[in-house]
Each structure stands twice: as structure tokens, then as C-alpha cells.
Amino acid sequence: MAEAQPHKVTLTEADQWPQPRWMHDGSSSVTGPVRILYLAKKAESEEKFKTCLSQLSKAEKRFQNIQPWIAHLRLQCGRLEVKKDSESLRNLWETTEWVRQNPQWLTGSPYSASLREEYLEGLMSVAEGYAQSTPERAWTAVENLLALFEFLSTSEKAKILKLAGDVAQQLKNPRGALAYYQRSLDQEYETALAVKVQSLRKKLLIPEVPSSSDGQPSMTADASTPAEKELAQLLERMKKWGRKGDHVAAIVDGVRLLRQYPASPQAEIASNQVSESLKVVVKGGAQSKIEKVLRELKKCDGDNLNRWALRLFAQREYELAEKLAEASAEKLETAGQGARTLLLIAKGFVTEGEYNQAIKIYTRISDNYPGKDWAHEARYRLGLVKFRQQKYDEAKPLFEGYLANPNREEFRLSAMHWLWRSELELKSEKAATVAQQLVKEYPLTYYGLRARAELNGGQLEWSDETHAPLKAEMWLTDSEQQSFDRFKLLLQAGWLKAAQTELRSLPDPLSAEERLLRARLFAASMDYFTAIQWTQKSWEDNPGLRVKRFLPLVFPKEFSNLVETQSEKYEVEPLLVYGLIKQESSFRTNAISPARAMGLMQLMPGTARDVARYNRTGSVQLPDDMFDPEKNVYFGTSYLKRMIRAFDGHVPLALAAYNVGIGNMRRFLRGRDELSELGKKQTSHYLHEVWVDELPWEETSFYVKAIMRNLLVYRMLEQNSVGLADPLWAPVVMQTPLEASHPNDAKPKPGP
């Protein structure tokens, strides 16, 4: 027998990887032996589960190297078919037996975790399905489930143990059932099951085990200490003052409670009560009461001061919030918290056009906390205010000061951009140097692309510099080679999720070139989230690879039939929709955000329902409908069009509203006279783009610039050379050059 050797796999740029997209575009180009696999997967996607199972039965022996994946799909289709037709339960049973007879599939391989989950679900369906008619077979399924115990979550363990009890009951074994029910309760308490256990104990004449609901001994005597009594009295008195409408007195008692008993459980209640009373006092507007309340509040700890400052900030009571945040910042233990809240309040003043108030806070933070993160941010934001006030000579050194510290990355890009614009306004010869630095450090950002174009006479171009075709070697173990072989077969058949799983199991790339070539494999299998990350990492490691022919790895155009159809229907540029999908979901159909936004275009549940009402499409089933690419692109494009129309065709404002909500954006624009008519100005001159970096929502600021960047790159990839029009979001062919729209001068400004 030959000794095992490492396997060499050579990847080249010339490799043609299949990119099946039949599951999204209706094409049926899969031919050859793998067509059986394609037909099975297609039947599953169309919920034709019997057809799926029929095709898989033909594939099992032909494709032995992917039998675990075939078993996975057999379990899935079998389980779903049982829900439609209980007669198919035997088929599902046979599939679970097939997996049981191959225990090596369940551990140690890329497919193992996914197969275990499906096997678990299949066994549950078998046990439940046979519990009444054939409990012996159901018990065998239960035993197989219990063999997976180490892989289960607490909730899953409780569910399976409860099922074991149910099956034991059917087998006329009540004592065994009781034992499993009790074990289930030990994993996760369930009231209905506890009642069932109590009833079963009575039937079996087994005495109850004494316990309390919280597991603690009951207190039969009044154990209250004098301190506890005073605490209760203070809290009750607070509530009484609140009911009587004397909120100043309520706050006084609340502060006393918080100072004397800061670690008590009642402290949280008191803090919230103080916050509610403060809201009423501020709304009343009596200055003497407000001043008295502020004096009381400042006696408290920094955490509570900071909390109340944030509540006042949310009420747009910026001046009062500033006083509490300042008091918090003066306390050593909460200096950072207070300073950050002051930053937030200063941004609030900016949104109201109270620039002098903002300048005062930014200056104070910068002076009082040298070297701290919040001091550096304050300096950058002070520069933005000065730029807004057209005091470019004062803005310039503030941006330079921020950039002087190489460890400050958060606002480095924006600071460099506004330094460049300050130099332009000052007609400085340094402007071109700053622009060149911007292009070098941040080539594929909105600001970097604008600098590239303006340095090139207004034309955005990306040269595809001569670069030798890429080639890289992978060295794989036997098991890794098998994973790679499975990946190739699964990719060809269009089993994309399975292909991605196998691909992710391979060892990490050893060079930027290999990483980029591997990114092509992820793109082929429609995992653009990973493809984008890996491509960007390869560019960081080797900037010479950032050439035009690799840009589509980061800026793909998937779901083209859906995007083109809906874009035409709603008269929205398709490239803008692609740009939004890229930013929102990286083309992941089942993407869901922490805020519960769903699908390709990341629609919130409320937004999806609103679009359904607006378009009269009937009820919407969430989240399933938003995981359907066709419905998601329809809803998302429709909503985007509404946002564009709501802001007079001003695309960046529409994008901000899409992200943070139309109400928030309208309030933001109403806060200042200079922004109230922004939508109607229809210009993307930089003096009218300061608002993007003034937004109080960092995520939204990044979001708007990212999608505008995406739009420019997509246009550049289509047109090769794109002239920057004014506004930038206007159709590609425009008459008006960008520089002609300077608000202070109708003549074109000189280039840098």
C-alpha cells in the first residue's frame, strides 16, 4: 500500500469555475451526470419533496463521495414530506437508519454539524410520528437521539427527554416516563410538564419533593432591618410624590435613596423614577424647579448622571443634558462616559445649528482630556464645524492635528478628505498632495474615488495595470483533498450552501495571491460575504493586486433579472440597487441583522408591512417572504423609490432615510435653515456634502458614502471611464461639470 502524500492543487486565474444560478434565474444549464443532483435540489426548492427523494435514490450509489450531503437532503425532504403525507414516515425512518449505520459522518468532517442538525430533526419526526402507532420504533429513535446528547443545547435536551417520557408512557412504563420527565425539568423548567409530573407522582403514590418556586427557604418572619425599612419608605414616598404631581420632591427622595443605597435592588427603580420625574419637570419649564432639580441630581454618582444626560439628549434638551454630562465627566470614575456623552450632546447642538454651543463643548473636551480618544474625536468634529462655518483657515490645523497621530483610524479618512477640501478653499498648493495621499491610502472609498477623478480632470478611471496571471499552489491532506473534490462536485450541481461549507474547511491561504484566487471560488459558490473579505485582505497585503479585473469580486451583479425588472418598473438606476444590496447583505438572501432587517435589501418588519400596504400586495409572511429574492428586491426597490421621491430626487438623502428612517432624516433636515432645502438643490458639490459627516448616526454616515462609492464603481466597471457629473447620482451622461456647482461661484473652480 502506497504511503500517503500531501496533495498539490494548482489554482490559476485561467480556471473556469461553474457558477450555477438556476435557483435564482430559472436557467437549467446543468447537464451531465450531476443533472440528477440538480434535479433533486430543484425539486426541494420547489417543495416537490417526493420528486426530490426519487432523484436522490438514483444519486446515492453514483456519487458516493457526497453521500453525507445526499443523506442531509434526504432527511430534509423526507421530514418535510412527512408533514404533508404521514405515509412517507417509513422513508424518513430508513434515512435515519442509513445515517445511524454511518456514525463517522456525524463528527470530524465539514458536513458533520449540518448533518447532525438534520439527523436530529429527522429522528424527532420519526419518534413523534411513531409514538402512537409503533412506540417500539419510536423508542429506537429516542435512543438514537439520546446518543447525540453531547451535541445538544439545553433546550434540545429538555425537548428530547420530554419526548422520551411521552414514548415511555406509550410503552406502558409510567415510572420510566416520570424519570425522563424529571430529567427534562432539570434541563429546562416548563410549567405544564411540572403539573404533569405532579399528577403522575400522585398516580404512582410517590411523595412530593418539597421545594419552593425560587429554590430559597421561605421567610416566615419579618426579617427587615431598619435600613431595609427606610429603603422601602423612601421608594414608596417617591411613588407617592409622583402620584401627587410633586416631581421635585420625588427627585429629592430618589437622589437620597441612590446616595444612601446605591447597590440595592431598589436603586434601579429609583433611577428610572427620577428619570420620569425629570422629564415632567423639564417639560413644565419652571426655571426655579429645573435649577433645584439640577443641584440635587449633581449629588449623585457619575453613572446615573450620565444615564439622565442621555435621556435628556433623547428629549433634545441639549443644554440640560450638557450640564449633567459635564458633572459626570468631572467624576473620576465616569470621566470617559461623561466626555463621550458630551460629544453626543455637542453633535446634537450641531444638528440644531447651535454651532457656538458645540464649539464650546468640543474645545473643552479637547483641552481637558489630551491624548484620549474622545479628545481626538472632538478635535476632528470641531474641524467640521469650522468648515461648515467656512472658516477654512481654522478647520485646516484641526484636521492636521487629528491626522498627525497615525493611531487614530476612526475618522482618518474623513479628516483627510476635509483637510483636502480646506486646502482647496484656501487655494493652497498642498491640495493636490493631500488628494494624492487620499487616493493612495483609501483608493476604493467614496472620498478616494472623488479625489482620483478630480485629479484626473473629472474622469473616474481604474487602470488594469499589466499583472502576470495569478497562480498559486495549495497543499492538502487526504481529507482536505476530499473536501475540495466534494466542493467541485457540489458547485457544479448548484448545491451552493454545501459547496461553501466544504470550501470553508480548507486551510487558510498562505499568500495574497492564493487568497484572491480562493476568493474567486467563494464568489462562484455565491458566498460574496467571504469573497469580499478575502479580496480586500489580499489587496491590503499586496496593493498591486487591486486591479480592475478583480473588482467584480467585491462589486458583483447577482440577481440581475430581478434587479433589472424592478429598476425599470420603478425608474431607479439598476447600479444603485446593486450598490445597496452589496452594502446591505453582500448578496446573502437569508441575511438578518441584529435589528431584524431581512434579506437582500434588509427590510425591517415594519417597513415590509408598510410596503405591502402601500403596494396593496396583501399580507406579508415574515421572515419567509423577505428571504425570497424576488419579493425582497420588489419591496426594497419600491421603498427606495419612495425615499428618492420623498427627498426630491436627492439620492444621498434617500439612502440615509432608507437606513435610519424617513422621520429621523426629516427631523435632522428641519434642525437647520441651511439644510431645510437641501433636497431641492440637487448638487453633490462638497460644500453641500458636509451633512453626511455631521449625521448623529455613524452607521448612516458610513452607509451613505459606501453606497455612493458602490454606484461610482459599478458605473466605472460598465463605462470604463465615467465623467463625474453634478449631481453624481444623475444619469451617467450629463451636461454639467461637477466643479460648476460651487455655491459661492458659478464659474468652475480650479483643480487642485
Question: Which residue has cell 487568497?
Answer: 515
Contact present, 78 and 91 (Cβ < 8 Å): yes
Which whole-number Å values give the CA distances from 157 to 142, 164, 438, in the listed order? 11, 10, 56
Residues 6+ apart with CB under 8 A from 616: none
Cell of 623: 421572515
Which whole-number Å values give the CA distances from 99 to 19, 124, 143, 482, 718, in the listed order? 30, 14, 14, 19, 50
Residues 6+ apart with CB under 8 A from 207: 201
Contact present, 72 and 115 (Cβ < 8 Å): yes
Q: Can 689 be counted among the known catalytic residues?
A: no
Which whole-number Å values give the CA distances from 4 to 1, 16, 405, 479, 508, in the listed order? 9, 29, 53, 11, 21
Cell of 277: 420625574
Contact present, 656 and 665 (Cβ < 8 Å): yes
Identity of the residue numbered 609 = R
- Would strands 459-461 and 7-12 be described as parallel, antiparallel, or unpaired? unpaired
Q: Which of 429, 536, 440 is nearest to 750 (CA)?
A: 429
Rounded CA separation 707/690 (Å): 17
Question: Buried (b) or exposed (e) across 159-168, using 16+ Cβ within 10 A?
Answer: bbbbbbbbbb
- Residue tagged active-site, from 81, 317, 584, 694: 584
Helix axes 629-646, 651-660, angle to 10 degrees: 120
Q: Half-sphere exposure of 349 toward its Cβ, with a 13 Å CA cutoff? A: 23
Cell of 392: 477654512
Helix axes 412-425, 431-441, angle to 10 degrees: 160
Annotated catalytic residues are 584
